[in-house]
Amino acid sequence: MTARAPSLPFSEPGPRRTAALAATFAALTLLFVVLGFPYERLAPRLEALLEMALGADAQVGRIEPGISRFLPQARAWDVDLRWPGGAQIHLDRVRVRPAWSLSWLRGRPAFRIALRRGKADVDGTVRLGDRRGFAGRVSALPLDDLPLATWAPGLLLTGRLDAEIDVHAGEQGAEGTATLSARDGSLSLPTLPIGVPFEGLQADLALGGESLATLHAFALDGPLVAITASGTIGAAPVVAAAPLALAARIEARDPSVREMLSGTGTRFDALGVSEVSIVGTIAAPVVRPAGVRPPEPRSGPPTRPSPPGPSRRRVR
C-alpha cells in the first residue's frame, strides 16, 4: 500500500479551501497595511495621547510599527516627558496599541499602553473621551522620578513604587482609587529636620468626591519610626494649598528620633507612642496632639482694657 500524502487546505475543494484562502488573504492584507502605514505621522498622535494620559508634554525620538494580539501597534524609543512645573522623565520605550474594549462602540477610544524606564514598568489602558482615564499597574518605579515637589513643596520620597491605579476625569478633577506600596526608601516632610528611612510604605486612597483625596489607610514601617494615618485631603485650587485633616499614630523606635520630634511639640508616652492630628495644608502641615483644637479666631476688634479710674477714699 502506498502512503497517501497529507492534503493541504488549498488543494481540497469546498468550505475548507475557501476558509484557508480567506484567512491567507486577510493575513496578507494586514501585513501590507502594517508595513505600509505612515508611522511617521503617528508620532504627533502618540505625543498627544501621552499628553492627555500623563499631563505632560511628550517628544518621541524614534517610532516603528509592530503587531500585538493581532492588532497593529506603535513602538517608540527615547521619549521625553516634561511637566509644566519643570519636572521631566526620560522613557526608554513606549508601546501603544488599540485596546480590546467595547468603549469603541460608544465613541470612547481606548488604547493599551506600556511604558518602560530602566527596570520600571507602567502597563494599563488609557481611555479617551469625556471620561478619559487610566487603569493599570506600576512596577518598580523610582519615587524620586515623580514631580512630587511640584505638587507639594518640601515633600521628598525615595524608594521603589508598585501601584494599582484606576482613575478618570470627573467634574471636579480626578476620581478613582489607588493602592500604593513602596519599599526601601525615605520620607522627607517640611516639618521634619531629616528624612525618615522606611522598609515598607503602604497607602490606600480614593480620589474625588467632596475632597481631593480620602486616605483610607497609610502605614510606614522603618527602623527609626512607624507611622499609621487616615483622613482627608481637602479640595483647593492648587495641590499645595489643599487642607489636611489627618489622624496619625507615631511610634518613635529610637530615642534620638523621640527627642527630635519632641522639639516639634509632639508628646510621647512611656512607650514612645504619640497620637496626633495633622492639619494645615500640604505645603505647610501642622502637627498637634490628638484632641487639641486650634484656637478659634476672635470675632470683632480686640477690646482694650479700660484705664483705671480715680481712686476713692472711704470716708468714715
Per-residue pLDDT tens digits for 196-214? 899 999 999 999 988 999 9
On whether both 71 and 145 belong to a single domain, the answer is no
* Residue 18 resides in a domain: no
On whether both 160 and 207 belong to a single domain, the answer is yes
| Distance of alpha carbon 133 from alpha carbon 54, whole angstroms | 10
On whether both 198 and 277 belong to a single domain, the answer is yes
On whether both 137 and 71 belong to a single domain, the answer is no
DSSP H or E segment with residue 261: helix 255-262
On whether both 134 and 58 belong to a single domain, the answer is no
* Residue 177 resides in a domain: yes
The model carries a pTM of 0.72
Residue 18 banded pLDDT, cuts 50, 70, 90: low
**Residues spanned by the domain of 44:** 33-100
* Residue 145 resides in a domain: yes
91, 115 contact by CB (below 8 A) = yes
Instruction: Assess whether pLDDT exceeds 80 at residue 31.
Output: no
On whether both 150 and 259 belong to a single domain, the answer is yes
On whether both 200 and 77 belong to a single domain, the answer is no
* Residue 138 resides in a domain: yes
User: Strands (DSSP E) along the chain, which ranges?
Assistant: 57-68, 71-82, 88-98, 110-117, 120-127, 133-142, 156-169, 174-188, 196-207, 211-221, 225-234, 244-252, 273-280, 285-289
Q: What is the pLDDT of residues 129-148, one digit of tens each?
A: 777 888 999 999 999 888 78
What is the dihedral sign for C-alpha 178, 208, 54, 87?
negative
Q: What is the pLDDT of residues 151-201, one digit of tens each?
A: 777 788 999 999 999 998 888 778 999 999 999 999 988 777 778 899 999
Domain boundary among 48, 80, 100: 100
Residue 261 banded pLDDT, cuts 50, 70, 90: confident
On whether both 59 and 163 belong to a single domain, the answer is no
Task: Please count the structural domains in the chain.
Answer: 2
Write down the mean pLDDT value for the chain. Answer: 79
